[in-house]
């Protein structure tokens, strides 16, 4: 995701005749800055949830019964919230890449499309992680939110790819 946002910034910076390029590059860099800590938080939250799952599987843990289940549920939920934010970031990055692709210097349009496709892929992977980490069914609001981000990112990327084919 950070790479996709960096690509958008590069496309904007290279488009010298585009008046809004500076503002688009600034947004891309802001999205890039949000991505790195999220990746770190995702790994940490998942490691934490995995340890809790292992303890639950072996009957370990400091407390038993409902309290342990609640603690495990909380850890799994945290492991799903970070990818939910990553999915939203993917939607934003793809949307920004689409704007860049429509208005940038033509020589860099393919780079913008690559950024949009990367961001859409990231959003899809993150939405899948939300589903897996929560173990929820369709209809759960968090999963629905992740799916909305995935769809928005996909649509932005598809629109741009269709325009340059």
Partner 1 sequence: MSTLDTLTDAELVRRCRAGDPEAWNTLVERFSRYVYAICVKGFRLKEEDAEDVFQDVFTRVYTHLDKLRDDAAVRPWIAQLTRRLCLDAIARGSREQPAPEQDFEESSDDFAEIEEAFAVREAVTTLGDACQEILDRFFARDQSYRTISAELEIPAGTIASRIARCLRKLREKLEAA
The footprint of partner 1 (CB under 8 A) covers: 19-20, 22-24, 26-27, 30, 34, 88-89, 91-92, 95-96, 99, 148-149, 152
Which is closer to partner 1, CB of 91 or CB of 134?
91
Which is closer to partner 1, CB of 76 or CB of 153?
153
Query: What angle, 0 to 180 degrees and rounded to 10, lies between the N-to-C axes of helices 65-103 and 109-134?
Result: 170
Which is closer to partner 1, CB of 52 or CB of 117?
117
Q: What is the C-alpha end-to-end distance of the chain, expressed in Å?
A: 23
CA distance linking residue 3 with residue 32, whole number of Å? 7
**H-type helices in 1-64, by residue range?**
2-14, 21-57
CB of 89 to partner 1, least distance (A): 7
CB of 132 to partner 1, least distance (A): 22
CB of 95 to partner 1, least distance (A): 6
CB of 24 to partner 1, least distance (A): 5
Burial (CB count <10 Å: 0-12, 13-18, 19+), residue 12: buried
């Amino acid at each position: 995701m950070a790479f996709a946002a960096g690509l958008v910034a590069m496309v904007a910076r290279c488009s010298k005749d585009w008046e809004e390029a500076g503002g688009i590059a600034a947004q891309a860099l802001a999205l890039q800055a949000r991505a790195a800590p999220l990746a770190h938080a995702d790994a940490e939250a998942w490691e934490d949830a995995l340890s809790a799952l292992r303890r639950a599987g072996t009957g370990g843990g400091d407390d038993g019964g409902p309290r342990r289940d609640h603690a495990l549920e909380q850890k799994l939920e945290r492991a799903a919230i970070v990818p939910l934010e990553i999915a939203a970031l993917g939607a934003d990055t793809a949307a920004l890449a689409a704007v860049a692709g429509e208005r940038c210097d033509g020589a860099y349009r393919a780079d913008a499309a690559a950024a949009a496709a990367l961001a859409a892929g990231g959003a899809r992977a993150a939405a899948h992680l939300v589903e897996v980490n929560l173990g929820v069914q369709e209809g759960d609001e968090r999963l629905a939110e992740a799916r909305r981000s995935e769809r928005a990112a996909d649509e932005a990327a598809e629109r741009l790819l269709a325009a340059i084919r």
